[in-house]
Structure 1
Amino acid sequence: MERLFGLDMQLIADTLLTAISVFVLFTLASYLFFDTVRDVLKKRQDRIKSDLDTASKEKSDALCYKAEYESKLRDADKEVEEILSAARKKALQNESKIIDEAKEEAARIIARANGEIELEKKRARDEMKKEMIQIATLMAGKVVAASIDEKAQNLLIEETLNEMGDETWLS
């Protein structure tokens, strides 16, 4: 009877020869290719490790920079607040200075107005005196025309001045 799988010497020799060939090819391929592949894989592994180390270093640097920038931002905010505070103080000082100057100017205007009022009063008094002198002169002319003696003339002038009174002179 014939077997499906016959184990004879030729099959064993072929199997051994194939196994030796595979072993030799594997050893040769391992010597030629696997070392090269291992070196490439090792370099790739080293490069990946280096990239990870660099990334972690850059991340820590970025965190330091972030903290530094946040600190600078806080300092800038403080500085802005100080500048605004100084500007407010300066504005208040300028405001009080302007108010003081305005008060001084108002006082000068009032003083000048009071001086002008006094000058106008003096002018009015002077004009009143001139009018009174003119009136007195006219009266004196009438008295002279009426041939009144000097005593009577003086009496008339005195009466006229008393009738006008001091209030006429002062207003």
Structure 2
Amino acid sequence: MLERLFGLDPQLLFDAVVLAVNIFILFLVASYNLFEPARNLLKKREERIAAELDSAKKDMEDAKALKEDYENRIANIEAEADEILAKARKSAVKNEELIIAQAKEEASRILKRADNQIELEKKKAADDIKNEIIDVATVLASKVLEAEVDENKSKSLIDDTLREIGESTWQNQ
């Protein structure tokens, strides 16, 4: 009889070999039809995850840039606020100086008007005194003419007239 391998008959060995070849062919067909789509799915998932990681990394860098820009703007806002306050202070000082200058000018005009008014009052008083002196002289002259008296009588008439109008009136000016 034929020699047997491990005590197996040749038909069993042939069937085992054919079965192994069929399993190998089935594995190749299954791997092409089943494993390849799974591999493609896994590859696409891997690429999508890598793209999402790259996008997240880019977003993180953009966020850092925006944060730095925001912090710079905050620092600049403080500087701008200080600058605006400085301008406001300068403007307030200018307005203050302008108001003070206008007040001084107004006070100067008021003083000039008061000085002019005083001068007018002085002139009016001087004119009144002159008119009084003229009146006194007229009264005195009429009394002198009426009396036609001597020089002693004339002095006494002048003294009487001066007493009547009062000495303080004609001596103030």
Tell me the TM-score normalized by structure 2.
0.72
Q: Would you say 1:66 and 2:41 are equivalent positions?
A: no
Q: Which stretch of structure 1 is more off in the superposition, 160-169 or 23-32?
A: 160-169
- Asked if 1 retains the 8 angstrom alpha-carbon contact of 2:144 and 2:154, the reply is yes
Give me the whole-angstrom Cα distance separating, in 2, the residues matched to 1:120 and 1:29.
130
After TM superposition, the structure 1 = structure 2 runs for residues 22-41 of structure 1, keeping only pairs within 5 Å, are 24-41=25-42
**Which whole-Å CA distance do the structure 2 matches of 1:118 and 1:156 have between them?**
35
Per the alignment, residue 3 of structure 2 pairs with none
RMSD in angstroms over aligned alpha carbons? 3.3
Would you say 1:91 and 2:98 are equivalent positions? no
- SS across alignment from 1:86: helix
Please give the alpha-carbon distance, in whole angstroms, between the structure 1 residues aligned to 2:110 and 2:31.
112
Q: Distance in 2 between matches of 1:128 and 1:101?
A: 40
How far apart are the structure 2 equivalents of 1:76 and 1:168? 79
- State the 1:77 CA deviation: 2.1
Gap runs ≥5 in structure 1: 1-11
- State how 1:1-171 maps to structure 2 within 5 Å: 24-148=25-149, 156-157=157-158, 160=161, 165=167, 168=170, 170=172
Q: Distance in 2 between matches of 1:122 and 1:169?
A: 16
1:76 Cα shift? Answer: 2.3
Question: Structure 2 stretches of 5 or more lacking a match?
Answer: 1-11
Instruction: From the superposition, tell whether residues 19 and 132 of structure 1 become closer, same or farther in structure 2 (CA, over 3 Å).
Output: same
Q: Matches of 1:52 and 1:167 in 2, distance apart?
A: 113
Q: Give the CA deviation at 1:21.
A: 6.5
Name the SS for the 2:148 alignment partner.
Answer: coil
The alpha carbon displacement at 1:127 in A equals 0.8
Of residues 117-126 and 143-152 in structure 1, the stretch that sits farther from structure 2 once superposed is 143-152
**Equivalent-residue separation in structure 1 for 2:125 and 2:25 (angstroms):** 143
Percent identity over the alignment?
43
Greater relative contact order (CA < 8 Å, ≥ 6 in sequence): 1
| Residues 143 and 157, structure 2, Cα contact 8 Å, conserved in 1 | no
1:123 deviates by 0.6
Structure 2 distance, partners of 1:95, 1:26, is: 98
Query: TM-score with structure 1 length normalisation?
Result: 0.73
In structure 2, C-alpha distance between the alignment counterparts of 1:149 and 1:50, rounded to whole Å: 141
Contact 1:136 1:157 in 2 (8 A): no
